Structure 1
């Protein structure tokens, strides 16, 4: 069985590559558990100083696996336990003691955006589009967009992205600092490596600095996000909305 997350070590940099390319690395329980475990392993490895998260296939990550959500909706369940795992994983990533860089391409949408928001730096390949996107499928964020997006890009742009579901070119996120660099395909890997190495070979202190950077209000806000998601899920016919999404995609 192929792992949902592939691991590669180059010097002191650990590369974690999301490996569900057939679904644009959409997040399901297997992937989030594999990512959580791989991040924990990297943080406990004394020879790893920085972590890079990227994705195989055409996209970095297109969000939650909507087929998984549809199956839960059709059977009368809800995804709260699953989203809790995702939210907790991303919080551990954000507060991890070593720097984490997201190397993104293709689509960085919904849960994919939430994953990138939990990282310390983002490098994008030309042609990448980024957005929250939840509202397009009648959903709300459940893994940090409503909490981290305004902090990373500013409230006006965060409101636009969340309330419209619009996807924007990665270049538009450079002025805010959320995306550190956008490069062509030929320079992308070299740029990712350069950014990752800029966090290495430094005196000890990353863990303490990330403690200082942590916002004490985030845990409560993330729980509120999940509560609002639960209310929305109960009030809406999510199964019908997701079925319509797959039906529309099938006829394209």
Structure 2
């Protein structure tokens, strides 16, 4: 697929996705949402891709939706529903993807931008980043899962603060609130994210995907059911996946593990 609003490049086990409309602060209009949805599918269908590095071109990760486009969509309820469905499918696709999605947040990340961030598995921010909800600043409400993911990420009171005030957090505050887990100088953002990937690349690809799936159970089920599913999942992993045994043998032999090619769980 040819992309107009973003770029997609493959580099070994990494897919690099860059929102590429910097003159508009990388808006998440319907066309861009459809392209991101297609990217999720393409990455999942590409053998050997275990990591996705997502960022924005220019001085913004994403400033959110296209407000002019919303005016038109609001006049067509069926079209607006289809847009919301595509946005939901795209973010849920990232959340459920086998690959690990890492958001490298540069500049402004607000409204739809924070909803995109919240769907990713890991997030790192440049010192210039400013992150918030911001929907109500223009009379809008989060419609791509932000009202549900944000309280789960940072707690209900803090989520309500961001939603009701429209405040933007600087990068250090976003780190202390748990929206990102590391802040680096602007010029080191991509290198630092790549450093994360290099560290994870030594681990079992099947194990990485499994750990992501287990963690996401907290979003999908009750505590008790999550515990039951964890037992079943780990039993299957340990008794059928060679990487599980290889890790133990490598530890015993005091050498680096030699994990096999990724297999689907």
Q: Which range, TM-score by smaller chain?
A: 0.7 to 0.9
Q: Which residue of 1 aligns with 2:208?
A: 206
Post-superposition offset of 1:177: 3.4
Asked if 1:15 corresponds to 2:16, the answer is yes
- The answer (yes or no) to whether the contact 2:133–2:168 under 8 Å persists in 1 is yes
Post-superposition offset of 1:64: 0.9
SS in 2 for 1:178: coil
For 2:100 and 2:196, the matched residues in 1 are separated by 11
Q: Which residue of 1 aligns with 2:38?
A: 37
Q: Which residue of 2 aligns with 1:90?
A: 91
Post-superposition offset of 1:149: 0.6
For 1:21 and 1:89, the matched residues in 2 are separated by 21
Asked if 1:216 corresponds to 2:217, the answer is no
- The answer (yes or no) to whether the contact 2:40–2:90 under 8 Å persists in 1 is no
Change over 3 Å in CA distance of 1:212–1:20 after alignment to 2: same
Q: Which runs of 5+ in 1 are unaligned?
A: 219-252
Q: Which residue of 2 aligns with 1:116?
A: 117
TM-score (norm 1): 0.80
Kindly report which structure 2 residues correspond to 1:1-252, keeping only aligned pairs within 5 A, or say none.
Answer: 3-73=4-74, 75=75, 77=77, 79-203=80-204, 204-214=206-216, 215-216=219-220
For 2:134 and 2:179, the matched residues in 1 are separated by 17
For 2:168 and 2:130, the matched residues in 1 are separated by 6
Post-superposition offset of 1:18: 0.8
- The answer (yes or no) to whether the contact 2:126–2:183 under 8 Å persists in 1 is yes
For 1:44 and 1:205, the matched residues in 2 are separated by 19
SS in 2 for 1:79: helix
Number of matched pairs: 217
- The answer (yes or no) to whether the contact 2:102–2:122 under 8 Å persists in 1 is yes
SS in 2 for 1:205: helix
For 2:69 and 2:199, the matched residues in 1 are separated by 38
SS in 1 for 2:200: coil
Q: Point out 4+ residue stretches in structure 1 off by more than 4 angstroms.
A: none
Post-superposition offset of 1:217: 5.5
Change over 3 Å in CA distance of 1:29–1:76 after alignment to 2: closer
Post-superposition offset of 1:52: 0.7
For 1:183 and 1:190, the matched residues in 2 are separated by 10
For 1:34 and 1:62, the matched residues in 2 are separated by 17
Change over 3 Å in CA distance of 1:217–1:23 after alignment to 2: farther
